[in-house]
């Protein structure tokens, strides 16, 4: 999407020198826009591990490009396969719980294996890395093309008055290679001249909304307003929200959604006020093996320092400040479960369906279990 008027993805091969991977260093957003050169597997591993790049789709793409660099590095060693496997292990260990990371690395391994010689292996790795990134963008774009119809309909009903969309966390292009999941219908709408306005939940404790989603929308020119996470209920009570779209970290076979902590509260408020609540996901987010979100999805607990300290900018310096009494403990649950009964529908790359097993299988019949 657009940054300072120019189109960017989150990660790409450097123009004119395809031995260098370039990526936006997201740690510094929204305060500084820095493009980082990643010249080695070590640098890719560090970028993933230290969250210069984050978000399921982007981590997968970064791993894909990392494997391309791994193949190039292995070409300069005596034992290509052994060196490649060392890189595989380092890459997989960079963020061990990221499903897309392992998936992308394995896909590359298989693809590279089919090359007849080192030159061919490198060419295949480069092509596969690009394909992984393109596919991610393609899925997100499809989500946008289906989701925009929801916005269009509301816009017609409101006779062109702004369609107010509330979103939580960052399910934007910064979490993928382009377009995003929850944001993709919004960008589609905006680019086609539909009058939209986005309420951006700041999304404590890590503030991905206020830092990343707001920055994305600002740079692409989409009208938006940052709000404290407490605010959505009031906005819905008073008719200021037409539609909620969030992303998800994991969706069960029956449509329960694990997403950033606080999503459940917004879904309750949407239900209480008859406001449509949609979750936008590429199908890679669906875990076909589990059904009950509350019982089967473990909720990550992170460090208390993310609640007690916050990072911002003062005097042009990125600074972390303590918000609470130093001795008070804090808890930091990263996700919550939104039960499918609260979800109006799921927006996927194959279309929109009900948040039910039947709904999902209608779009993904290949997941029908054998009897």
Contact criterion met (CB below 8 Å) for 266 and 166: yes
* Interface segment toward a copy of itself; rule CB under 8 A; list 59-67, 70-78, 246-254, 307-315: 307-315
Q: Does 312 bind a copy of itself (CB under 8 A)?
A: yes
Q: Among positive and negative, which fits the CA dihedral 157, 215, 333, 93?
A: positive
Q: Which is nearer to a copy of itself, 18 or 333 (CB)?
A: 333
Using DSSP's 3-state secondary structure scheme, residue 329 falls into: coil
Q: Does 331 bind a copy of itself (CB under 8 A)?
A: yes
| H or E element at residue 287 | strand 286-287
Contact criterion met (CB below 8 Å) for 334 and 299: yes
* Interface segment toward a copy of itself; rule CB under 8 A; list 126-134, 178-186, 248-256, 302-310: 302-310
For 267-270, which contacts have Cβ atoms below 8 Å and span 24 or more sequence positions? 267/338, 267/342, 267/343, 268/342, 269/232, 269/233, 269/236, 269/237, 270/236, 270/241, 270/244, 270/342, 270/344
Q: Does 330 bind a copy of itself (CB under 8 A)?
A: yes
Q: Which is nearer to a copy of itself, 264 or 364 (CB)?
A: 264
Contact criterion met (CB below 8 Å) for 351 and 142: no
Could you tell me the two tokens for 344?
């109006």
Q: Does 229 bind a copy of itself (CB under 8 A)?
A: yes
Q: Which is nearer to a copy of itself, 289 or 316 (CB)?
A: 316
* Interface segment toward a copy of itself; rule CB under 8 A; list 38-46, 66-74, 92-100, 206-214: 206-214
Distances (CA, A) of 368 to 252, 352, 357, 371: 14, 18, 10, 9
Could you tell me the two tokens for 44?
């890719």
Q: Which is nearer to a copy of itself, 202 or 287 (CB)?
A: 202
Distances (CA, A) of 14 to 65, 125, 271: 12, 16, 46
Give the active site residue among 249, 256, 287, 336: 249
| H or E element at residue 122 | helix 118-157
Q: Tell the burial category of 371 from Cβ atoms under 10 Å away from its Cβ (0-12, 13-18, 19+).
A: exposed
* Interface segment toward a copy of itself; rule CB under 8 A; list 7-15, 75-83, 313-321, 358-366: 313-321
Q: Contacts with a copy of itself: how many residues (CB under 8 A)?
A: 65
Residue 183 and residue 245: Cα distance in Å, rounded?
A: 8
Q: Which is nearer to a copy of itself, 81 or 272 (CB)?
A: 272
Binding mask 209-228 for a copy of itself (x = CB under 8 A): -xx--xx-xx-----xxxxx
Q: Which is nearer to a copy of itself, 156 or 234 (CB)?
A: 234
CB of residue 326 vs a copy of itself: minimum separation in angstroms?
A: 8
CB of residue 12 vs a copy of itself: minimum separation in angstroms?
A: 23
Q: Binding residue for a copy of itself (CB under 8 A) from 65, 285, 308, 340?
A: 308
Annotation marks residue 249 as catalytic: yes
> Applying CB under 8 A, which residues contact a copy of itself?
30-31, 199-200, 202-205, 207, 210-211, 214-215, 217-218, 224-235, 237-238, 260-262, 264-266, 268-269, 272, 294, 299, 307-314, 319-325, 327-333, 335-337
Q: Give me the active site residues, please.
A: 249
């Amino acid at each position: 999407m657009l940054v300072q008027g120019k189109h960017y993805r989150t990660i790409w091969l450097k123009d004119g020198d395809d031995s260098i991977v370039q990526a936006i260093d997201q740690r510094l957003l929204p305060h500084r826009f820095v493009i980082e050169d990643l010249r080695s597997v070590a640098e890719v591993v560090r970028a993933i591990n230290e969250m210069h790049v984050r978000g399921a789709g982007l981590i997968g793409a970064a791993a894909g490009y990392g494997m391309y660099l791994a193949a190039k590095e292995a070409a300069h060693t005596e034992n290509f396969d052994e060196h490649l496997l060392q890189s595989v292990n380092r890459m997989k260990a960079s963020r061990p719980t990221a499903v897309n990371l392992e998936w992308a690395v394995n896909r590359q391994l298989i693809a590279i294996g089919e090359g007849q010689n080192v030159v061919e292996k490198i060419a295949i790795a480069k092509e596969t890395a690009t394909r992984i990134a393109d596919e991610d963008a393609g899925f997100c774009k499809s989500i946008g093309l289906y989701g925009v119809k929801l916005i269009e309909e509301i816009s017609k009903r409101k006779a062109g008055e702004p369609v107010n969309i509330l979103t939580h966390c960052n399910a934007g292009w910064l979490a993928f290679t382009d377009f995003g999941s929850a944001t993709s219908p919004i960008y589609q709408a905006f680019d086609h001249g539909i009058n939209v306005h986005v309420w951006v939940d700041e999304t404590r404790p890590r503030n991905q909304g206020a830092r990343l989603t707001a920055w994305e929308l600002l740079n692409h020119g989409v009208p938006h307003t940052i709000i404290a996470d407490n605010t959505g209920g009031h906005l819905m009570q008073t008719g200021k929200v037409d539609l909620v779209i969030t992303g998800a970290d994991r969706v069960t076979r029956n449509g329960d959604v694990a997403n950033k902590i606080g999503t459940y509260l917004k879904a309750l408020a949407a239900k209480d006020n008859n406001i449509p609540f949609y979750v936008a996901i590429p199908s890679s987010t669906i875990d076909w093996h589990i059904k009950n979100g509350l019982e089967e999805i473990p909720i990550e607990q992170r460090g208390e320092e993310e609640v007690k300290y916050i990072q911002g900018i003062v005097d042009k310096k990125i600074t972390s400040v303590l918000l609470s009494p130093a001795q008070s403990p804090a808890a930091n649950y990263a996700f919550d479960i939104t039960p499918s009964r609260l979800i109006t529908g799921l927006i996927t790359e194959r279309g929109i369906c009900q948040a039910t097993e039947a709904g999902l299988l209608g779009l993904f019949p290949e997941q029908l279990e054998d009897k």
